[in-house]
Amino acid sequence: MRRVVTTHDADGKAVVHTDDQVPMADFPGASEWDARSAVLWTTGAVPADNAGDLVGGDRPSGATLSGGSVLRVTELGPGFTSLMHRTLSIDYIAMLSGELELELDGGSVVRLRPGDVAVQRGTNHLWRNPSQDTPCRFVVSMIESEPILIDGQRLEQTM
């Protein structure tokens, strides 16, 4: 994935800080899966520091980043199905290519196509590429969220 990052020069003019390629890597610990992703940028805090924080491409992160945000591109191979899982985050998913199914533990299944956007709000879900011959690719921005309480019970993260 090509990544272009902007900043300001000493005179306050907008300039390109980096224009580079970020390789897609297999999901950690799951090389047998046909799934890969690339973290494109992170912020160490929300609101973000656009004046000085230029390490967003190198900051270690998991699915989310405590107090910050993570932007990644993910590609799922034909027939890939994730485990049912919940993250303590709000996720903005924008489809780039192929098709992707979002299945919720309540039984809903929604098919997403290029140009579609899903807002995933800490629900228990899985992702499925329904195609048997075409990968799907999407961009996801994940921002840490408060835990969800239902009838006094905290819904825990499962990944």
What distance in Å separates the CA atoms of residue 99 and residue 134, rounded to the nearest whole number?
8
The strand order across the sheet containing 25-26 reads: 25-26, 35-43, 69-76, 136-144, 89-97, 117-121
pLDDT tens per residue across all 159 residues of the chain: 899 999 999 999 999 999 999 999 887 655 556 899 999 999 999 989 988 889 999 998 888 888 999 999 999 999 999 999 999 999 999 999 999 999 999 999 999 999 999 999 999 999 999 999 999 999 999 999 988 899 999 988 887
DSSP, collapsed to helix, strand or coil, labels residue 149 as: strand
Residue 33: the pLDDT is 64
Q: What is the CATH number of domain 24-155?
A: 2.60.120.10
